[in-house]
Amino acid sequence: MLGTYNQGLVLLSLLVAMMASYTALDLASRITASTGAAAVAWLLGGAFAMGTGIWSMHFIGMLAFDLPIAMSYDIPITVGSMGIAIVVSGFALLIATRQTLSHWRLAAAGVLMGLGICSMHYAGMAAMEVLPAIRYDALLFLASVAVAIAAATAALWIAFQLRTNGRRRILARMGSAVIMGGAIVGMHYTGMAAANFAPGSICLGGPLATNGWMAATIAIITFLILCGTLSLSVLDARMESKTAQMASWLQSANAELQRLVLHDSLTKLPNRLLLEDRLQQAVEACRRHGGRCAVLFVDLDRFKTLNDSLGHYAGDRVLRTIADRLRAAVREEDTVSRLGGDEFVILLRNVSRPEDAGETAAKIMSTLSRVIPFDGLDLRVGSSIGISLFPEHGQDATRLIASADAAMYHVKKSGRANVAYFSEDMNTFSPEQLVLESELRTAVERQQLILHYQPKVDLHTGRITGVEALVRWKHPERGLVPPAEFIPFAEETGLIIPIGNWVLREACVQNKAWQRRGLPDLVMAVNISGLQFQQADLVQTVSEVLEESGLDPSLLELEITESVVMHNAPQAIVMLEELHRMGVGLSIDDFGTGYSSLNYLKRFPIQKLKIDQSFIADLSVDADDAAIVQAIMAMAHGLRLGIVAEGVEREDQLQFLRGLGQGEYQGFLFSQAVPAADVERRLLAQPSSVVVTGN
């Protein structure tokens, strides 16, 4: 019994095959670009969509074959053939998205996939309820298997080659989809040609609908599935692209921020922060492998006179020239840094003999003594250099710099323009400082410490959103002692731990007291020192304080400086996550003055970044400071973090910050740190809607 083909349905089957092929190529790129659960989801969804497309092409192709008798199909076998198509498609996508595809793997996968497609085709043919059974021409049957294997191998190779994204890939995929679709259709119709229907064949069941209606219905459903899958793929690709662009922008902004933060803006030399880091690394290397490193503290003689008489422009020119000469005077592995003003510090690595540092210092003195031409003048500056050595004069970066500084001051006092190595008799000793340290030990017990609170204000509404607790020492004879005079002693002696715990407890008790008086809820910010953060019982201490005071954890915010959390970032993450689970707010204080890896920053469970006041002071006149502030605020907004600007003292600073978006500020423009009673008065006087710009 002979049949004929409906040309329209043949063309429709070809279109379905090409669209299924394009979808497969697109999904291969999605699976390759995804990881974890997302990759599995794309693989399963892609297998269903691609398998449905291939099966639909096959079924429409069978419907395109018109026999003199009406035809019906066995439903379970038909569904089974669709299942085969989905499994084969999943296998194909899995192979095509591997990192590598060897010739042997490609050949083996092509054979298995080709046999799978043949199984789907002939299972579908077996679903035709016709008697007598269909007989197949052996030669054409083998030809269909060969075409299927060849088509499958080509499809796998094309999908593997085009699995990555790119604009040029779209046209390549479209062309490849035409080739793949044609190959799949070729296999199908070769298999159809192998089928022989005996004369007088009959159909065992009645037709469900005409071939045209069935083909149209299947095609529409398939197109909807494929279009929906492609739409999701396109949306996911766009979201991934935007995410990648944002990550790239944040990484670039962070790199630029690091450059600005770690280098002197005038000379482009490393600043103190970068110097201390490199010096500490050099010290650790010397400890591990043995050896010596040296620190040279260089101070320019008569520079202040030159700067005052000729102006800052001349002074800047001289400093840049000095920086260039210092760089040229040392090795590539050494570090030349500027601490500020006319002070430079040089790290010399791998110093074989102590005398080598002195010889380098003498070379530097000779280099710096050369004439500096400026505006028709021959300018000269001298230098005084102090030297410290590891391990003789200090065991860490801070001590080594301090020792070199002391040696330099010894040179200054002895007539300048010379070099001196550090010795213990150069240490300065202050009896007053020792007395102050002794008195501080009893300040907590004698209730001499008090808290003042500096309001944090919304940049745009002017409303008080929180306060920062700041400790003051009410000395019985000296009056209020500034924190700068006693906090360093507290940190050196370990007294900062009991003082810090007292501040935490008093701040929480005060905030709860404000709540009981019916005042608006405020977030109480408390600074956590480096030593406190290193204490294993910090989380327990915070928990006990919250329980004792009855304060809601969400109304407590702990401020940890950037350098503290980055000192041991993995351990910091564990500590911060424990505090975060308690519901306590977390912010990075003095942001921009230390190292912040973007990788760690996004892993820290923090809610806010505080911009250090050193960047706020001159942001309206210093382009570098303005760039740093803009970068920090953009980064915070990109990471969905709150932002607080410290040290806002002028209206122009506030207006600049407002132009950068949402955030908070604190500083003398609104209020200095004041006693609790003053905060209460401000809160009670604060109307429900107000914009405040200053006192």
The pTM of the full predicted model, rounded to 2 decimals, is 0.51
Q: What is the side-by-side strand order in the sheet with 343-348? A: 335-340, 343-348, 293-301, 382-390, 419-421
- Antiparallel, parallel or unpaired: β 608-611 and 642-645: parallel
Residue 234 has pLDDT above 80, yes or no: no
Mean pLDDT across the stretch 337-341?
A: 88
Residue 170 is encoded by which pair of tokens?
């779209």
Mean pLDDT across the stretch 276-302?
A: 92
pLDDT one-digit tens code per residue, 83-129 = 887 887 777 767 766 667 677 777 877 787 778 778 877 787 777 76
What pLDDT, on the 0 to 100 scale, is given for residue 659? 92
How far apart CA 634 and CA 233 sit, in angstroms, is 30
Residue 671 is encoded by which pair of tokens?
């209020």
What pLDDT, on the 0 to 100 scale, is given for residue 319? 94
> What is the fold, at CATH topology level, of the domain defined by 431-685?
TIM Barrel (3.20.20)
Residue 392 has pLDDT above 70, yes or no: yes
Mean pLDDT across the stretch 226-246?
A: 72
Residue 229 has pLDDT above 50, yes or no: yes
Share of the chain above pLDDT 70, in %: 84
Please check whether residue 21 is in contact with residue 96, taking contact to mean a CB–CB distance below 8 angstroms.
no
pLDDT one-digit tens code per residue, 253-262 = 777 777 777 8
Of the ranges 24-38, 481-495, 537-551, the best mean pLDDT one? 537-551
Mean pLDDT across the stretch 425-452?
A: 72
Bridge partners, 389 (sequence order): 294
What pLDDT, on the 0 to 100 scale, is given for residue 209? 45
What pLDDT, on the 0 to 100 scale, is given for residue 470? 94
Mean pLDDT across the stretch 591-602?
A: 65
Structure-model confidence comparison of residues 636 and 165, the more confident one: 636
What pLDDT, on the 0 to 100 scale, is given for residue 120? 78
Mean pLDDT across the chain: 82
How far apart CA 459 and CA 658 sit, in angstroms, is 6
How far apart CA 268 and CA 262 sit, in angstroms, is 9
How far apart CA 366 and CA 383 sit, in angstroms, is 9
Alpha helices in 391-537 (DSSP H): 397-413, 431-441, 483-493, 496-516, 530-534
Please check whether residue 346 is in contact with residue 269, taking contact to mean a CB–CB distance below 8 angstroms.
no
**CB-count exposure of residue 24 (10 Å: 0-12, 13-18, 19+):** buried
Weakest-pLDDT range from 369-373, 505-509, 559-563: 559-563
Domain ranges of the chain: 4-242, 272-426, 431-685
- Would you list the DSSP string of 35-66? -HHHHHHHHHHHHHHHHHHHHHHHHHHHHTEE
Please check whether residue 11 is in contact with residue 64, taking contact to mean a CB–CB distance below 8 angstroms.
no
Q: Among candidates 469, 476, 466, which has minimal Cα distance to 451?
A: 469
Residue 691 has pLDDT above 50, yes or no: no
Quickly state the pLDDT bin for 175 (edges 50, 70, 90): low
Q: Sign of the CA dihedral 248, 253, 259, 261? A: negative
Q: Given 3-state DSSP classes, what are the helix, strand and coil percentages for the chain, each rounded to the nearest 5?
A: 60, 15, 25
What pLDDT, on the 0 to 100 scale, is given for residue 7? 76
Would you put residue 674 in left (φ > 0), alpha (ψ -120 to 50) or beta? beta
pLDDT one-digit tens code per residue, 642-656 = 999 999 999 999 999
What DSSP element (H or E) covers 570? helix 569-581
Residue 596 has pLDDT above 60, yes or no: no
What pLDDT, on the 0 to 100 scale, is given for residue 662? 92
- Antiparallel, parallel or unpaired: β 372-374 and 293-301: unpaired
- Would you list the DSSP string of 67-124? -SS---B-HHHHHHHHHHHHHHHHHHHHHHTSS---HHHHHHHHHHHHHHHHHHHHHH
Residue 5 has pLDDT above 50, yes or no: yes
Residue 341 has pLDDT above 80, yes or no: yes
Mean pLDDT across the stretch 687-691?
A: 50
Mean pLDDT across the stretch 279-300?
A: 93
What pLDDT, on the 0 to 100 scale, is given for residue 10? 75
Residue 407 has pLDDT above 60, yes or no: yes
Residue 373 has pLDDT above 70, yes or no: yes
Weakest-pLDDT range from 418-432, 463-477, 627-641: 418-432
Q: Among candidates 360, 82, 107, which has minimal Cα distance to 221?
A: 82
What pLDDT, on the 0 to 100 scale, is given for residue 689? 43
Please check whether residue 85 is in contact with residue 120, taking contact to mean a CB–CB distance below 8 angstroms.
yes
Q: Among candidates 188, 193, 254, which has minimal Cα distance to 16?
A: 188
Quickly state the pLDDT bin for 354 (edges 50, 70, 90): very high
Please check whether residue 641 is in contact with residue 606, taking contact to mean a CB–CB distance below 8 angstroms.
yes
CATH of domain 272-426: 3.30.70.270
pLDDT one-digit tens code per residue, 529-558 = 988 988 888 999 999 999 999 999 999 999
